[in-house]
Each structure stands twice: as structure tokens, then as C-alpha cells.
């Protein structure tokens, strides 16, 4: 394992719980959410301009939609949003207890379906799930989870990575792009927490070499693993709680990273005053293009 370059802050956003970054090739902009701030954000790296679009409830994930607008996972369910972040229609209600569950991490599959998981807020009952949404409706792919996270696909689209953050574990599955079904789940990474390091796998992305990048929440770093699960490099972040990575830029050689500040100790925020900011790092290996959500998929 090697120590890699560090991330630098490109937007001191002071987000409460930054999450869900996704690059829009059409807009040449990065969209990301502030879950606890109830906002969808747009960042233009060419100008540094940022746009904040308020929402009426917590938003956990978002993706551009074919034909315009977005699909987004909110507390109440999966929603179609217009280009200004306005609610258009509820596509699928959250079938769990919405008082203790909300949608969290999401990712578009190679065929244009949307995969999104929930968070069991008490983190005690294992009541969260990973779902698939397409023209057939909402379907359960996995259950018994605490915090569904870390979704990413291999370059050929036939492997799905998925984390359950509080268990320090990332699993991988065989994925059928033709049907959206998963099978043969196995442990890909299991991190070992210590008293000084509680870094656990949060949001993720895969690069063109098939390597898995994961933000280590409460670990102050991002880690890159080989397709065989070998730790290749770690990259420090000037924030204790990185949350999710996404490749962006015209050549997909910029790795963006969201972070959190809500609920963190005062002394930590003094040491890391850019917590809640948007960070970036240049990478040699580009990421993979992310397709838009396709309502007909």
C-alpha cells in the first residue's frame, strides 16, 4: 500500500451531511446533496459557481434523468425532480417505516435502472434494504442492512459492489445487466476498526482499471482497492468524515469527494474547519462514464 496525494477543498460549502456526488457530462457540472441540509447542489468547476436548490425533505441520492431533470431518493421515496430540483412525481414510496428510514446511497446501473438503498436510523434492527427501481417498479435486492452504501459497478457492469457501513464490510455480487438481478454475494472488503481508527466504507466509485475507491467515514481518508480487494493506496482528507467519491471533469480524471460536519465534536471542527466542504483530487486512471437514469429501462 502506498500513501497517495491528498484531497484539496474546491468549495467550502459547510454542508451538514454532504453526500451523493454525481457528474453530469451533459452539464459539465457536479451535482451533490446535503442530506440534513435538505438541498440539491450544483457545482461548476470551470467557474467555481455553485447553486443550492432547497427541498422539502432529506435527500440522500440523486442522478440525472434521461430527458431532463433527476431521479432522487428522499425520505418518503424515489422522486422525479425537474431541472430546478422541484418535485414532479413520486415514482415509488419508501416501503419502510419513514419515521426511522430514509433513502441513502444510489447509483444508475449500466442499463439505466436506479439502485438505491435505505438507512435504518436506529442502526439496531437491520431493517434497511437495497432496492432496484425500473419500469417494473421497486424490487428488493438485499435486506437485513443497517446503512446501505458504497454502490458501484465494475467496468463490464457484471459486478456490483455494495457496503453496509456500520459493519465495516463491502460485498460484491454477480450482476446481470439484462435483468438487474444479483447473485453469488461474497465479502470483498472487511475493515478492522481500532480505538484510534473507526474509518468505515461509505460512498464509492470504480475507475477504468476496475479499482474500487471508498470514502472512509471517521477515517479522514479515501482508499483505493484492486479488483481482488488488495489495498493499493490511501489519500488523506482534511476532514474527519469523508462520505462519497465520484469521478468528474471532461476526462473523468478528477475525483470529487463530499464530507460531513453535522454532529461532529467542536475540537474536531476546529482542527478540520473545511468539514462539510467539497474536495477534489487529480487522478491518473480515469473513472467510468455514468449513464443517466432511463425511465424506460
Residue 59 CA to residue 103 CA, distance in Å, equals 7
Identified catalytic residue from 109, 202, 207, 294: 202
- CB within 8 Å of 256: residues ≥ 6 apart: 10, 21, 23, 30, 32, 245, 246, 247, 248, 278, 279, 280
Residue 173 CA to residue 98 CA, distance in Å, equals 28
CA proximity to 61, closest of 35, 87, 36, 24: 35
Beta strands across the sheet bearing 70-74:
59-64, 70-74, 77-81, 87-93
Residue 42 CA to residue 115 CA, distance in Å, equals 22
Residue 274 CA to residue 41 CA, distance in Å, equals 17
Residue with cell 469523508: 242
8 A C-beta contact, residue 211 and residue 203: no
Residue 22 CA to residue 43 CA, distance in Å, equals 10
CA proximity to 56, closest of 40, 44, 71: 40
8 A C-beta contact, residue 214 and residue 188: no
Query: Phi/psi at 266 (nearest 5 deg)?
Result: -60, -40
| Beta bridge pairs of residue 239 | none
Catalytic residue check, 202 = yes
Rg for the chain, CA atoms, rounded: 17
Catalytic residue ranges: 202
Amino acid at each position: 500500500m502506498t500513501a497517495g496525494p491528498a484531497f484539496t477543498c474546491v468549495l467550502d460549502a459547510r454542508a451538514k451531511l454532504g453526500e451523493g456526488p454525481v457528474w453530469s457530462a451533459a452539464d459539465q457540472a457536479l451535482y451533490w446533496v446535503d442530506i440534513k441540509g435538505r438541498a440539491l447542489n450544483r457545482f461548476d468547476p470551470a467557474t467555481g459557481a455553485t447553486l443550492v436548490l432547497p427541498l422539502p425533505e432529506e435527500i440522500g441520492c440523486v442522478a440525472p434523468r434521461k430527458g431532463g431533470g433527476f431521479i432522487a431518493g428522499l425520505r418518503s421515496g424515489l422522486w422525479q425532480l425537474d431541472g430546478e430540483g422541484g418535485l414532479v412525481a413520486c415514482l415509488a414510496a419508501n416501503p419502510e417505516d419513514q419515521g426511522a428510514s430514509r433513502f441513502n446511497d444510489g447509483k444508475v446501473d449500466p442499463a439505466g435502472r436506479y439502485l438505491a438503498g435505505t438507512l435504518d436510523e436506529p442502526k439496531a434492527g437491520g431493517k434497511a434494504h437495497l432496492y432496484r427501481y425500473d419500469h417494473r417498479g421497486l424490487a428488493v435486492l438485499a435486506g437485513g442492512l443497517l446503512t446501505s452504501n458504497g454502490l458501484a459497478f465494475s467496468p463490464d457492469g457484471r459486478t456490483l459492489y455494495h457496503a453496509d457501513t456500520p459493519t465495516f464490510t463491502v460485498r460484491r455480487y454477480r450482476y446481470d445487466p439484462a435483468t438487474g438481478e444479483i447473485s453469488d454475494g461474497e465479502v470483498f472488503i472487511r475493515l478492522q476498526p481500532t480505538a484510534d481508527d473507526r474509518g468505515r466504507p461509505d460512498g464509492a466509485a470504480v475507475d477504468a482499471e476496475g479499482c474500487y475507491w471508498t470514502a472512509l467515514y471517521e477515517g479522514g481518508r479515501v482508499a483505493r482497492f484492486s479488483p481482488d480487494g488488495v489495498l493499493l493506496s490511501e489519500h488523506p482528507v482534511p476532514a474527519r468524515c469523508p462520505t462519497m467519491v465520484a469521478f468528474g471533469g471532461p476526462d473523468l480524471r478528477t475525483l470529487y469527494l463530499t464530507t460531513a460536519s453535522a454532529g461532529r465534536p467542536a475540537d474536531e471542527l476546529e482542527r478540520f474547519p473545511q468539514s462539510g466542504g467539497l474536495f477534489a483530487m487529480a487522478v491518473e486512471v480515469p473513472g467510468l462514464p455514468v449513464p443517466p437514469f432511463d425511465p424506460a429501462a
